[in-house]
Amino acid sequence: MVISVGDRLPEATLVRIGAEGPEQVQLSERLKGRNVVIFAVPGAFTPTCHSAHVPSFIRTKDQFAGKGVDEIICVSVNDPFVMKAWGESTGASGAGITMLADADGAFTKALGLAFDAPPVGLIGRSRRYALQAKDGVVAVIHLEESPGVCETSGGEALLAAI
């Protein structure tokens, strides 16, 4: 079943690199009592993710804050070291976007949003989406039909919907 508006986001442990190395991040703790935007990409450093999706949230971060969004989180089925490097190379980390790894894909699978694209080497990856969650409940969700497209899941499109 694919996550939809009104659903509570599942419990998940994501990973990031902190000052002391890899850190577990309990998603429910990040969401409790907060207005959070989460966007997911099929893969760090892949063309559309790198040149369109992440930049759209960097451009709109201040506007989201103006609408009461407490945090913007980027999730990818990658390891936390890749997510850290990608956040630094795109400027997302410097802009204040939280880069979290769904290292084993468990969160993505629980959302019903995992897909495989063997011809390009993407196995167990996340569909491209963006959502707004209020206190852990999905208020708005935009799913892309194709992993190579960033239209409805881009920062500007989600911003216009909230």
pLDDT, one tens digit per residue, over 102-130 is 999 999 999 999 999 998 888 999 999 99
Q: Which of 15, 49, 69, 77 is catalytic?
A: 49
Q: What is the pTM of this model?
A: 0.96
Buried b (16+ CB within 10 A) or exposed e, 21-58: eeeebebeebbeeebbbbbbbbbbebebbbebbbbbbb
Question: Any catalytic annotation for residue 49?
Answer: yes
pLDDT at 121: 86
Higher pLDDT: 12 or 121? It is 12
* Burial tier of 153 (Cβ tally within 10 Å: 0-12, 13-18, 19+): buried
Please state which CATH class domain 13-161 belongs to.
alpha beta
If you average pLDDT over residues 11-26, what whole number do you get? Answer: 97
